[in-house]
Amino acid sequence: MDVMVFGLARSGTTLVSDMLTVPGRSLVISEPEIFKHWSRNTAGRVHKLARLVGLDLPEAPPEAEDYGRSYARYFREALVPKLSTLDRWGIKNVDFSGWRGLLRAFPPKRLILCVRDLRDAAISGIDRICRLGIVFRGVPRMRDEAWVLAGLAYSVQELMAMRALPHLVVRYEDLARGTAQQTIADYVGLERLQEDRFNLKAAGLKRAWEIDKHQGRVSDASVGRFASEPPGPVRALAERLWKLLPEYSAAFGYDLPPADGALEGHDFAAAARARKPIDYLQTENWEWPGPSQFEPSFAQRRARIAAARAIGKDAKLLDLCYGAPSLASLLPPETVLLRADGAPRGREDRIARLHMGELPATDGATVAASLGMLEFVEDLPRFLRGLRAAGLPLVGSYHATDDNADLDRAGLGWRSHLDRDHLTRLCTEAGFALQARWAFDGRQSLFRLTPR
């Protein structure tokens, strides 16, 4: 293999693979999943891509049965001989699981490592979940904030190990500003890079929203994404990840986070990972409780799972929370889910400054949910009054101070610091009856507010 591209999710790896794909000259395949189970979608996408750049392959995509349902066999027997007719060929991955075996099977002559400011990568990962609706029903995988946090921590762990190999680092920020392109071309031995997006075309332009955002060209529209994220669970998660992994910022020339003593013994910190590395399979398991330390994103996952059981299948639910639309994977199929957010993440999100106590239009909703968000609301009485005026019941979660005396609430980005009595009094004064399961998971409470 001539070139292999590896990097964090949302760090520009697909853009680099497209730049290195020149019809008749070179092809870098995005996520071929060589050693995974046969996927009809993957096989069809890679087959379409190869034909787009001029490789002589049959019009019909391959059938699993023709290769004993082994995609690795198909790749070696059918694709590699065709790829070898090109001047350059390679693959790109953001999935670091099994990368050592992949490099042994297909040792690359050149290795490109793509990186991005961790805060921007985390927020962009959640934006992608929202844009593409990457939530799953009936499978033991969860795509939410906890998965983004754990997945990026795992990727950094493996990326830091991969740095021991000869490589070229490509920073997303330099790529977006157009200052890395010539370096990439020189490194792989191409006179020019491609502007067409062949990997995206082969995938059916599922990420057309990105092309629209950047107006069909390479742009720096997503550089500094963290700066535009409003206060809330998404921004707090991004900042926490940045503080957890300072060695990444130091290695790749990003702003160093301030020291945070509370994170020194964290399971995702460098010293702990050296003793017990993060297992990728755990990060995908929806039942994994996460690190032994308190993590708000895993608490939010627990709250969503518990709350989904309390929401009727005929409900029209308004989800009042910045972040992933993961409730969609937990609710009955008959339930209608409306989304509110403080940033334009999903195509149909209702935008409101929830952290300031503002509410979006609630017309049509029969119940609201606020899970993992109320700790970030600065004006909770205003938020409750708005709900009461709309006549909406609420399923909510909250970490009362009674049950979390050991937590640095300000360090977590929380703006609200109420004990059980104060929370109950605010809800009563706003015109609600409150039913609560206090500290249902040992720390956070789940409650239902019903307009009186």
Domain closes at, from 213, 237, 266: 213
Domain boundary among the residues 213, 232, 257 is at 213
Do the domain assignments include residue 169? no
Do 76 and 209 belong to one domain? yes
Domain annotation covers residue 262:
no
- Tell me, yes or no, whether 97 and 196 share the same domain: yes
Q: Give the pairing type, strands 432-437 and 110-115.
A: unpaired
pLDDT of residue 142: 77
Three-state secondary-structure class, residue 160: helix
What residues contact residue 58 under an 8 Å CB cut-off, 6+ apart? none
What would the mean pLDDT of 311-332 be, rounded to a whole number?
91
Q: Is residue 79 part of a domain?
A: yes
Three-class SS of residue 250? helix
Q: Among the three residues 190, 213, 236, which one is the final residue of a domain in this structure? A: 213
CATH code, domain carrying 390: 3.40.50.150
Are residues 103 and 197 located together in one domain of the fold? yes
**197 and 301 in a common domain:** no
Q: What domain range is 400 assigned to?
A: 296-451
Rounded to whole angstroms, the Cα distance separating 133 from 328 reads: 9
Residue 371 lies in a domain: yes
Number of independent structural domains in the chain: 2
**Residue 197 and residue 92 share a domain:** yes
Mean pLDDT of 420-443: 98
Mean pLDDT of the 348-364 span: 93
| Domain contains 237 | no
301 and 447 part of one domain: yes
pLDDT mean over 244-260: 97
- Please indicate, yes or no, whether residues 204 and 307 belong to a single structural domain of this protein: no
Average pLDDT in the 383-411 region? 96
Over pLDDT 90: what percentage of the chain? 83
Cβ contact 399:443 at 8 Å: yes
Give the model confidence (pLDDT) of 132-184 as tens digits: 888 766 666 778 999 999 999 999 999 999 999 999 999 999 999 999 999 99
Q: Are residues 52 and 197 in the same domain?
A: yes
Its pTM stands at 0.94
Residue 267 lies in a domain: no
pLDDT-based confidence at 328, cuts 50/70/90? Answer: confident
Q: Do 318 and 430 belong together in one domain?
A: yes
Within a domain: 315: yes
Tell me: do 438 and 338 sit in the same domain: yes
Cα–Cα distance, 147 to 145 (Å, whole number): 5
Q: Is 431 domain-assigned?
A: yes
